[in-house]
Amino acid sequence: MNDFKDKVVLVTGGSRGIGRACVLAFAKRGAQVVFSYAGNEQAANETVAQARELGAEVQAIRFDVADPEACASAVDGILKSHGRLDVLVNNAGISIDGLVMRFKDADFDRVIDTNLKGAWALCRAVSRPMMKQKGGAIINLTSVVGEMGNAGQSVYAASKAGLIGVTKALARELASRNIRVNAVSPGFIGTDMTDALPEDTKARMMESIPLGRLGSGDDVAQSVLFLASDAAGYVTGEVLKVNGGMYM
């Protein structure tokens, strides 16, 4: 349970959902966890409180991942306070859905800047310190939508498909310095948003999932833990599907 002891981990978008599950999973295993949040301070405080209930301390920092300067500053702050950074989990993301004929340029920029450019900016920010350490792990949270597409989500799909490309390119670029770069691609995950969906909508979702259930944040977090761990020491450039079989 202490396999991440003395490891420093940054999880973006850690105040709720999959990000919170990742924060708590790393904290349980002895990591020093820093997580980012965009604006929901109450949710961030809830994550901190849940970590304390587990006997762990985590740190919440507020910054916008869509701002490359803020990304660089956040990483610099972690290095100054903790001395190193071993794992980056790029989880923060947004979805603005809409048919292509009606989609606004400003919304396109918001999705790409957050989901793709922001993740890339953080990869850039951690690459130099990880190279100096001669080791590290980066896990990018993509989506089944980035692999198979979905009507009304062309921009979200583009951002997540682009993140797969970034993952594979950086896996090749950074491998010589013992930095592994992988992605986790969740399917339909149970969240407050999916809980609020009409029953007939949820039933149709279930029909597309061979395992017959929605995934949980912890399902995803366990896959992130594996890719960040020494158990995955010979795994890089991989996209690990966590979707209950809906896309193979």
Res. 193 pLDDT band, cuts 50 70 90? low
CA dist list (Å): 102 to 51, 97, 105, 155, 160: 42, 10, 10, 12, 21
Q: Of residues 37, 156, 234, 247, which has the active-site annotation?
A: 156
Residue 247 within a domain:
no
Residue 70 within a domain:
yes
The predicted-structure confidence for 65-114, as pLDDT tens digits, reads as follows: 999 999 999 999 999 999 999 999 999 999 999 999 999 999 999 999 99
156 is catalytic: yes
- What per-residue confidence (pLDDT) applies to 202? 80
- What per-residue confidence (pLDDT) applies to 200? 83
Q: Is 134 exposed, middle or buried (0-12, 13-18, 19+ CB in 10 A)?
A: exposed
Residue 154 within a domain:
yes
Residue 2 within a domain:
no
User: In this structure, what DSSP letter does residue 100 have?
Assistant: G
Identify the CATH number of the domain in which residue 102 sits: 3.40.50.720
Long-range Cβ pairs for the range 105-111 (8 Å, 24+)? 107/155, 108/155, 110/66, 111/155, 111/156, 111/159
Q: How many domains, in total, are found in the chain?
A: 1
User: Which residue range is the domain that position 223 belongs to?
Assistant: 8-241
Percent of the chain with pLDDT over 70: 98
Mean pLDDT, residues 22-37: 97
Residue 3 within a domain:
no
